[in-house]
């Protein structure tokens, strides 16, 4: 029996890795070109839609996220398809701890409120939705993820950059692992409820963990330095990305990790890529 998945945003991180993972799992993968295709048309005959669409650099989330949400829900409803959605941790707010599917949402940012409203729209839509929730994505294919742009921005000068306290834990996710889990959950969709919130623990890391791991690989000492938030504060009035990043600064000061209890119940035996391998992949060539 043919299993067909429509991947949205294939030029981006989530879409690119999802396409590979579903193909490796034996799915027929359709790709959506937002500039050319009509979503409801290209979704016909698809069993699953992976929503990898996301406005780059947080651009105009207030308008674009609801618009994308309505389009995806409409296409999934017409196709009777399941939506796999990359969730994040923004709606948890700034209370440290172990965050899970039972943690009460308490967003403290506009983006947290927007994402929470988006998820609630999926939950109320009647479309089966699997939210696979992760922290900061680690993308071995590009240099525009948090690992490269912040932690390793000065690695060639033997420095690890910390955007918050160096010992504050952050939820992080190696994207090939997330995509494998998404494909595996899609296989089990008949056993799942109409709306599933599945935290993906991935790797829980501090800046010191990254420093220690890379020191073993590189065989020399590294220095931890602070991220230049002052520059983003200075440029925020005329630089959209700086404004949006400043709003999320609280997360770097909020010690947190994601629970893996739900995922392990659903995907027995699933293992993430070892941290040593992840760090080696992320070192600049």
pLDDT of residue 1: 55
Residue located via tokens 């027995």: 268
Over residues 162-174, mean pLDDT: 97
Backbone angles phi, psi at 133, to 5 degrees: -95, 130
Q: Is residue 232 within 8 Å of 246, Cβ to Cβ?
A: yes
State if pTM tops 0.85: yes
- Over residues 148-157, the pLDDT tens digits come to 999 999 999 9
CATH of the domain at 154: 3.40.50.720
> What phi, psi does 89 have (nearest 5°)?
-110, 10
Q: Which of 81, 86, 10 is nearest to 43 (CA)?
A: 81
For residue 127, what are the domain limits? 4-282
Q: How far apart are CA 283 and CA 63, in angstroms?
A: 36
Name the range with the highest mean pLDDT among 137-146, 210-219, 241-250. 210-219
To 5 degrees, how large is the angle CA 195–CA 196–CA 199? 150
Mean pLDDT of 165-171: 98
Give tens-digit pLDDT for 20-69.
999 999 999 999 988 888 999 999 999 999 999 988 777 788 999 999 99
Q: What is the band of 238 on the pLDDT scale with cuts at 50, 70, 90? A: confident
What's the chain look like in SS3? CCCEEEEECCCCHHHHHHHHHHHHCCCEEEEECCCCCCHHHHCCCCCEEEECCCCHHHCCHHHHHHHHHHHHHHHHHHHCCEEEEEECCHHHCCCCEEECCCCCCCCCCHHHHHHHHHHHHHHHHCCCEEEEECCEEECCCCCCCHHHHHHCCCHHHCEEEECCCCCCCEEEEEHHHHHHHHHHHHHCHHHCCCEEEEECCCEEECHHHHHHHHHHHHCCCCEEEECCHHHHHHHHHHCHHHHHHHHCHHHHHCCEEECCHHHHHHCCCCCCCCHHHHHHHHCCC
Q: What's the number of domains the chain is made of?
A: 1
Averaged pLDDT for residues 164-188: 98
Cα 214 from chain centroid?
23
Checking DSSP bridges between strand 48-51 and strand 97-99, what pairing results, if any? unpaired
Question: Residue 5: pLDDT band by 50, 70, 90 thresholds?
Answer: very high
Distance of CA 114 to the CA centre of its chain: 15
Strands 203-205 and 170-174: antiparallel
The model's confidence at residue 235, banded by pLDDT at 50, 70 and 90, is confident
64-104 per-position pLDDT tens digit: 999 999 999 999 999 999 999 999 999 999 999 999 999 99
């Amino acid at each position: 029996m043919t299993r067909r998945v429509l991947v949205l945003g294939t030029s981006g991180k989530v879409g690119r890795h999802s396409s590979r993972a579903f193909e490796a799992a034996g799915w027929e993968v359709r790709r959506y070109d937002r500039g050319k295709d009509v979503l409801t048309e290209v979704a016909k005959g698809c069993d699953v839609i992976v929503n990898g669409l996301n406005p780059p650099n947080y651009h105009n989330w207030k308008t674009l996220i609801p618009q994308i949400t309505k389009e995806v829900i409409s296409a999934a409803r017409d196709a009777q398809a399941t939506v796999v959605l990359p969730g994040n941790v923004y709606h948890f707010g700034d209370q440290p701890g172990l965050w899970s599917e039972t943690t009460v949402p308490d967003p403290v940012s506009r983006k947290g409120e927007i994402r929470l409203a988006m998820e609630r729209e999926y939950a109320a839509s009647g479309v089966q939705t699997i939210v696979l929730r992760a922290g900061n994505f680690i993308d071995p294919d590009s240099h525009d993820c948090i690992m490269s742009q912040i932690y390793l921005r000065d690695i060639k000068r033997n420095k690890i950059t910390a955007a918050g306290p160096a010992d504050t834990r952050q939820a992080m996710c190696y994207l090939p692992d997330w995509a494998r889990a998404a494909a595996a959950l899609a296989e089990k969709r008949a056993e799942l409820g109409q709306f599933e919130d599945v935290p993906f623990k991935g790797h829980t890391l501090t800046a010191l963990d990254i420093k220690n791991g890379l020191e073993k690989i590189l065989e020399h000492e590294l220095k931890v330095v602070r991220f230049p938030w002052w520059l983003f504060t200075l440029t925020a009035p005329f630089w959209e990305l700086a404004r949006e990043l400043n709003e999320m600064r609280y997360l770097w000061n909020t010690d947190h990790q994601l629970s893996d209890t739900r995922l392990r119940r659903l995907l027995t035996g699933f293992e993430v890529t070892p941290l040593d391998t992840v760090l080696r992949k992320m070192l600049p060539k």
